[in-house]
């Protein structure tokens, strides 16, 4: 690939870590993103947020938020490679907005809506996109929930399958709810959806157009669990073998959700493909971002290398905010 010209190179702050259960995944993503940006000639400033919320510089010295903001202001653009609450949920986007710094990825509204799986369902319903029937539980309402059939229990705002449990019998419900509530104060109890797991990666460009990469199918027995995602056992098939009608339906639904939520940059939109058509699972506004993660694999199948992808995201962010 061709490296950007000196006029196109940028000083990019890459932020990883975060105060949530996806801290370690974010560190891996941020390390990969920074290395790829450096490979194509950008100057990166690596910052980390530790599990306690303290910001650190590239040497892992604690610097605190005030100094971190001053460091961010020396950069042309911020690439927040943060997954989950207090990062992907719009909080870092809000920080960048308040400080007037261009940034890669979705803004405050899209991050907050997509992180909340119940809110995502409400948006999907308004756009006539199917989702799994579900009940929203809080600590107050959970004791009155009556188990009647197999369900999936999950935190309303977490990622990487943390706290997600397939519950087949009533005695399993209490432990599943306890695990989910440990990660948030709202929990979803969803009907089990039978279908193929298909992911779409949507890239919104500054001119309002969309690029949808070839779909990826996750081939795994049962739930796509936390272990499956990171132990190398997951079987990703890209491009997924799809009938043209199914491919079109999935791509159209992915773009509709991307726009309805107000996403920007790259988002991964996950579906179950059932006999009745696509059923939305969730939307990730900052999905896993190592070279072996789903979204980069999808764009690689379209002929765009990992360094090219992260470089494009940086250049588009400057174009949108510049």
Same domain, 96 and 120: no
Q: What is the pLDDT of residue 1?
A: 44
Same domain, 62 and 205: no
Query: Of the candidates 224, 239, 234, 249, which has an alpha carbon nearest to the alpha carbon of residue 299?
Result: 239
Look at the chain and report how many structural domains it folds into: 3
Q: Is residue 34 part of a domain?
A: yes
Q: What is the pLDDT of residue 269?
A: 98
pLDDT over 50 at 225, yes or no? no
CATH number (domain holding residue 171): 3.30.1490.20
Buried/exposed 270-289: b ≥16 CB within 10 Å, e otherwise: bbbbeeebbbbbbbbbbbbb
Q: Tell me what the mean pLDDT of segment 77-103 comes to.
A: 95
Q: How confident is the model at residue 220 (pLDDT cuts 50, 70, 90)?
A: confident
Residue 192 to residues 38, 62, 264: CA-CA distances in angstroms? Answer: 43, 44, 30
Q: Is residue 139 part of a domain?
A: yes
Same domain, 157 and 83: no
Q: Tell me what the mean pLDDT of segment 29-34 comes to.
A: 97
Q: Is the dihedral of CA 228, 91, 17, 175 positive or negative?
A: negative
Q: Is residue 170 part of a domain?
A: yes
pLDDT in tens, 105-154: 999 999 999 999 999 999 999 999 999 999 999 999 999 999 999 999 99
The C-alpha atoms of residue 24 and residue 188 are separated, in whole angstroms, by: 25
Q: What is the pLDDT of residue 5?
A: 52
The mean pLDDT of the chain is 92
pLDDT in tens, 276-312: 999 999 999 999 999 999 999 999 999 999 999 999 9
Same domain, 159 and 240: no
The C-alpha atoms of residue 210 and residue 318 are separated, in whole angstroms, by: 17
| Helix (H) / strand (E) containing 210 | strand 210-212
Q: How confident is the model at residue 4 (pLDDT cuts 50, 70, 90)?
A: low
Q: Identify whether the C-beta of residue 53 lies closer than 8 Å to the C-beta of residue 62.
A: no
CATH number (domain holding residue 97): 3.40.50.20
Same domain, 163 and 250: no
Same domain, 140 and 272: no
Adjacent-strand bridge partners of 131: 280
Q: Is residue 282 part of a domain?
A: yes
Residue 224 to residues 89, 106, 164, 231, 272: CA-CA distances in angstroms? Answer: 22, 25, 10, 12, 12
Q: Is residue 1 part of a domain?
A: no
48 lies in which domain range?
Answer: 6-105
Same domain, 200 and 260: yes
Same domain, 249 and 233: yes
pTM equals 0.92
Structure-block tokens of residue 103: 């940034």
> Could you list the active site residues?
22, 160, 230, 268, 270, 282, 284, 288
Same domain, 126 and 237: yes
Q: Tell me what the mean pLDDT of segment 166-192 comes to.
A: 95
Higher pLDDT, 185 or 226: 185
Q: Is residue 305 part of a domain?
A: yes
Q: What is the pLDDT of residue 233?
A: 61
């Amino acid at each position: 690939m061709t490296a950007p010209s000196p006029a196109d190179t940028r000083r990019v702050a890459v932020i990883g870590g975060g105060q949530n259960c996806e801290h370690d995944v974010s560190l891996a993503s941020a390390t990969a993103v920074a290395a790829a940006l450096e490979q194509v000639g950008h100057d990166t400033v690596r910052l980390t947020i530790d599990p306690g919320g303290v910001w650190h510089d590239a040497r892992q010295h604690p610097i605190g938020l005030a100094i971190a903001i001053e460091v961010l202001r020396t950069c042309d653009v911020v690439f927040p490679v943060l997954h989950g609450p207090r990062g992907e949920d719009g909080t870092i986007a809000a920080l960048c907005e308040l400080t007037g710094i261009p940034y890669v990825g979705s803004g405050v509204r899209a991050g907050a809506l997509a992180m909340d799986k119940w809110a995502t369902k409400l948006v999907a319903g308004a756009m006539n996109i199917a989702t799994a029937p579900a009940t929203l539980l809080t600590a107050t309402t959970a004791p009155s929930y009556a188990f009647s059939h197999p369900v999936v229990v999950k935190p309303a705002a977490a990622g990487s399958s943390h706290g997600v449990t397939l519950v087949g019998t009533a005695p399993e419900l209490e432990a599943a709810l306890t695990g989910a509530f440990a990660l948030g104060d709202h929990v979803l109890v969803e009907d089990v959806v039978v279908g193929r797991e298909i992911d779409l990666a949507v890239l919104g460009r500054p001119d309002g157009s969309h690029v949808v990469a070839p779909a990826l199918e996750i081939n795994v027995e049962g739930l796509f669990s936390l272990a499956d995602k990171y132990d190398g056992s997951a079987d990703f098939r890209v491009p997924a073998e799809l009938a043209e009608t199914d491919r079109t339906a999935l791509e159209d639904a992915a773009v509709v959700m991307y726009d309805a939520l107000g996403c920007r940059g790259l988002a991964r939109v996950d579906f179950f493909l059932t006999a009745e058509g696509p059923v939305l699972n969730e939307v990730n506004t900052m999905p896993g971002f190592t070279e072996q993660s789903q979204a980069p694999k999808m764009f690689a199948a379209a002929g765009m290398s990992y360094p090219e992808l992260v470089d494009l995201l940086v250049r588009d962010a400057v174009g949108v905010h510049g």
